[in-house]
Amino acid sequence: MSRPFSRRTLLLAAGAAAGALAGCSAGEGGGAAATQEYEFTEPTPAATVIAEGRRAPAPAFSGELLDGSPFDSSSLAGDVAVINSWGSWCVPCRVETPEFQAVHADVADRGVQFLGIDVKDQRQLAVAFVEELGVAYPSVFDPRGEVAMAFRGFPANVVPSTILLDRTGRVAAVYTGQVRGDDLRTAVELLLAEDRA
């Protein structure tokens, strides 16, 4: 008689554990998400950020900048970060990038870092692109899209796309497709207004 009870208890416990794990993905309820690494579920509406209690930590990543110097995501720690995937071949990127540069120029001295991720590109074309558009922030050269793959489930084939990190390194917004400069500025200001505690 005790065996069915034990089996039922084990099944209930297993079900509860599965439910707890399911609730840990980004964008799905509660503060549990903050204890698990980020996993993409859906884009964030324009000019908004994910509620603080629902954010999950961004994965660590590294690579080589367009100028050949090494980059590690740990250098973003403590700042709001804007990570933008782009390519010199991407028409919306040509529209979006000058707007991003304008926002960068306005907020760079307020604890906001910008990082481009150049994907599916040739280094010479990418360098020419940033020089022509006067982009002052660095870009990782990532022709195989390895950085996007670090963000589990992230649609690496969507270019441009943008990820915002809060000061604690959690994913605070994910925008797929072109982002208007005014919408980016609004989202960045929301993150800057959050308590540093």
Transcribe 56-86 into DSSP letters: -BPPP-EEEETTS-EEEGGGGTTSEEEEEEE
d(C-alpha 126, C-alpha 118), whole Å: 7
Residue 8: per-residue pLDDT: 38
For residue 165, the domain's CATH number is 3.40.30.10
Q: Could you tell me if residue 21 is inside a domain?
A: no
Question: Does residue 33 form part of some domain?
Answer: no
Classify residue 30: in a domain, yes or no. Answer: no
Task: Give which of 185, 18, 193 is closest to 114, Cα–Cα.
Answer: 185
Report the number of distinct structural domains present in the chain.
Answer: 1
8 within some domain: no
pLDDT band at 196 (very low <50, low <70, confident <90, very high): low
pLDDT in tens, 15-44: 333 333 222 222 333 333 445 889 999 999
pLDDT tens digits for 76-102?
999 999 999 999 999 999 999 999 999
Q: How far apart are CA 106 and CA 100, in angstroms?
A: 10
- Return the CA Rg of the chain: 19
The reply to whether 46 falls in a domain is yes
Domain membership flag for residue 12: no
Is residue 157 very low, low, confident or very high in pLDDT (cuts 50, 70, 90)? confident
Q: What is the mean pLDDT of the chain?
A: 85
> Does the model's pTM come out above 0.75?
yes
Give the domain extent around 185: 38-192
Q: Which residues 6+ apart lie within 8 Å of 193 measured at CB?
A: none
Can you tell me whether residue 117 is helix, strand or coil?
strand
CA distance 147 to 88: 17
Side-by-side strand order, sheet with 171-176: 70-72, 62-65, 139-142, 112-119, 80-86, 161-165, 171-176
Q: Is residue 5 part of a domain?
A: no
Check the CA dihedral 187-49-175-85 and report its sign. positive
Residue 179: inside a domain, yes or no? yes
Average pLDDT value for residue range 156-180: 96
> In the predicted model, is pLDDT for residue 53 greater than 90?
yes
The amino acid sitting at 97 is: T
Q: Which helix (H) or strand (E) holds 2?
A: helix 2-22
